[in-house]
Amino acid sequence: MLPGMNLTVIDHPLTRHYLSILRDETTPPEAFRAATKGLTYTLVLEATKRLPLAQHEIRTPLEPTVGYRIGEVVAIAVLRAGLGMLDAVLETIPHVRVGFAGVQRDEETATPQEYYAKLPDLSRATVLVLEPMLATGGSLAWAVSKAKESGATDITALCVVTAPEGVRRMYEEHPDVHIVAAAHDRELDDRYYIVPGLGDMGDRLFGTW
């Protein structure tokens, strides 16, 4: 956790390995998608460390023992780049419900523009918001506000790369939201891209540059 911030940056060999593949400009879309999935597994494991558990009795082939069951989890994919993280969440937490938050960035002002939102009732759920690139923080702050409007009180954001500007905004607007990331990069450039970063996550996932 960075001092004074709500950010945890994962320090794990697998995270570094997959992040390096994502940063490499020569990585083709199919390898980029695979690396995104692999990296997301490491983010999910960190983000779910404190999931509430309910005890129940189970029986092994030898005797009864105590088992544990996780509660309700909802993942919110921020379109479109958040889709690249969704498969890893679905495979790790098969009973997860999924919401979608569609927002695009105005290239001149970097302000978020909403175009779609479909969320279930979140009042009893642990919520994971999938937003790979936390740049200015506008998109993530908007998605979190939407989640809170749907009743969410326990929210963690999963990000691949963050910038100081975005983390600061999240801390100011949503200090109760924990951010789990693979990297905390230096700054934003004059086009509001994270540097060194990895480019446009959506374009690289789907080959649309």
User: Is 105 a known active-site residue?
Assistant: yes
Residues 24 and 31: their CA atoms lie apart, in Å, by 11
**Token pair of 195, please?**
């540097």
Radius of gyration of the chain (CA): 17
Nearest to 181 by CA among 2, 29, 25: 2
Whether 200 sits among the annotated catalytic residues: the reply is yes
With tokens 């979190």, the residue in question is 144
- Token couple for 169: 């905004």
Residues near 72 by beta carbon (within 8 Å), at least 6 away in sequence: 97, 124, 125, 126
Q: Is the peptide bond before 16 cis (omega within 30 degrees of 0)?
A: no
Amino acid (1-letter code) at residue 69: R
Q: Is 24 a catalytic residue?
A: no
Sign of the Cα torsion 100, 121, 73, 15 reads positive
Residue found under tokens 């009973």: 95
Catalytic one of 24, 50, 69, 109: 109
Where b means 16+ CB within 10 Å and e means fewer, 114-133 reads: eeebebeebeebbbbbbbbb
Handedness of CA 115, 119, 123, 125 (dihedral sign): negative
Q: What residues are labeled active site?
A: 105, 109, 200, 203
